[in-house]
Amino acid sequence: MKVADYLTAIDQADTYKRYGKVLRVVGIMIESKGPAANVGEVCLIHSSSSSGNPILSEVVGFNNEKIILMPYSEVAEIGPGCLVESTGKALTVKIGRGLIGKVIDSLGNPLDQSPLPKGLANYLTEQSPPNPMLRPPIAQPMQVGIKAVDSLLTVGEGQRIGIFAGSGVGKSTLLGMIARNSGADINVIALIGERGREVREFIEKDLGDDGLKKSIVVVATSDQPALMRIKGAYTATAISEYFRDQGYRVNLMMDSVTRVAMAQREVGLATGEPPTTKGYTPSVFATLPKLLERTGTNENGTVTAFYTVLVDGDDMNEPIADTVRGILDGHFVMDRKLAERGQYPAINVLKSISRVMNQVADNEHKETAQEIRKLVATYEENSELIQIGAYKRGTDSEIDRAISYHTKIQSFLSQDIFEYHTLQESINSMKNLLHGGVS
């Protein structure tokens, strides 16, 4: 840099610190008089105790010239008149290759309390989605490593997929399989609103050492404030964008986007928004597209995103599920009936769709997949008649064929947790299933 650049930077530097003071705390909302700050800026609240560290908070709104703040941590030792200091900037996290293999919180701090590696870059957590005209079309298939997905629901590099399921149907296990088996260079895994017990279990059992070697895990557990859970999603997305801009093929896995929406609802209700659909505030439906549209392709690399959606009471048409399904490029529906039957992963291939499969699969692959879907659909339509013995073989050749292939298809769609198949192996297995004779 030239001396003139340094002088310009000195001239433009703001040498003032701006302070306000806390007026009241209601629930998760802190109201203060001053300082001068904009929505989205980070402020430090200095506690009344001399030993306490400042509490990080964010400006989320205004009320009659008073500032409404939400804390990133639990509110303790805050009283009327506590100083509120403006930092003058939005939340940034440190990102770089040194984070690979680490488990961090929503603010980018390692959860094992180790120091951050050197050489990381500061990066804003809130970014704009890429310009639609600068997004290259999705043209390459992405290996997921799960036979049912690679063969019948082929995913493209840069596609965004929703994994819809009720509780306990195997979402986390499926994410672990994708993280270990996929063809991506780096995994970014966001565990938002999860039970604290599940975090270590997921990392050690589902992800394993091999998966962690090429992963960055962002954790915001259910006991943390709403803003930390929201920021967990934004931080994970920002990390994905950083590596995409470096030219990497990134997998972003977020479990779950429903908990992000619930956290946003908490913030919205606390700031005075009206509850609309099933208690969700308007800001929830404004935030989801901004978050989900940030992933995908750009001119440098790709972010292939998998978002789990926790559907209450297995209702696939509840507000968040419906909104997310309309934004994403496909959805996998995990069926409790299949899980109860012992078929894992419990993906219902008839109710699931990949909207880019036609762009990334060849004609023979698409025709074979369509034929297998047709056989599964024919069996499902007539399953009651078949199971009670009311259907007589020879009545309908299509149903006879579906019955002949049923066991073989069920076996093909099942996969052990640590079983690994390449994309080509899955496609070849599907072709052999259909054209290699009936068992």
pLDDT computed for residue 438 by the predictor: 44
pLDDT computed for residue 51 by the predictor: 62
pLDDT, tens only, 252-264: 999 989 999 999 9
Percent of the chain residues past pLDDT 70, beyond the cut: 97
Work out the pLDDT band at 94, boundaries 50, 70, 90. very high
pLDDT computed for residue 411 by the predictor: 94
Q: What are phi and psi of 11, to 5 degrees?
A: -60, -40
pLDDT, tens only, 178-222: 999 998 999 999 999 988 888 999 999 888 888 899 999 999 999
Which range, of 8-22, 34-48, 288-302, 359-373, averages the lowest pLDDT? 8-22
pLDDT, tens only, 260-279: 999 999 999 988 899 988 88
Distance between CA atoms of residues 378 and 362, nearest Å: 25
pLDDT computed for residue 14 by the predictor: 67
DSSP string, 250-299: EEEEEE-HHHHHHHHHHHHHHTTPPP-GGG--HHHHHHHHHHHTTSEE-S
CB of 169 closer than 8 Å to CB of 339 = yes
pLDDT computed for residue 17 by the predictor: 78
Three-class secondary structure of residue 401 per DSSP: helix
Whether residue 13 is predicted with pLDDT greater than 80 in this model: the reply is: no
pLDDT computed for residue 317 by the predictor: 79
Distance between CA atoms of residues 192 and 175, nearest Å: 14
CB of 70 closer than 8 Å to CB of 119 = no
For the segment 295-318, the average pLDDT, to the nearest whole number, is 89
For the segment 92-120, the average pLDDT, to the nearest whole number, is 93
pTM for the model: 0.91
Whether residue 237 is predicted with pLDDT greater than 90 in this model: the reply is: yes
Q: What is the mean pLDDT of the chain?
A: 90
Distance between CA atoms of residues 372 and 434, nearest Å: 7
